[in-house]
Amino acid sequence: MKAFIEKNKCASDSRICKPLKECPQKAISWVEDDDEPLGSRMEIDENLCDGCGICVDLCCGHCIEIK
């Protein structure tokens, strides 16, 4: 089981993103990407994510799912 972000719901704001700060595995990162409407995206490294689910409750946009 891994965490996935539904990008079109995500604010992609590293200043307010609790999952980014609090993921125990440091699996979440903020990536600048000119191809995204917001100019950036949150990315989850599936090799680091252990599926703990902590980020699901911390996400203010309810955009992270474990599957």
Task: Give the residues lining the site for ligand SF4 (CB under 6 A).
Answer: 3, 5, 10-13, 17-20, 23, 25, 27-28, 42, 44, 49-55, 59-61, 63-64
Give the residue with the Cβ less far from ligand SF4, 34 or 49: 49
Give the alpha-carbon dihedral of 32, 21, 61, 1, to 10 degrees: 90
Choose between 5 and 35: whose C-beta lies nearer to ligand SF4.
Answer: 5
In which residue are the tokens 């993921």 written?
23
Nearest residue to ligand SF4, scored by beta-carbon proximity: 61
Report the alpha-carbon distance of residue 20 to residue 24 in Å, rounded: 10
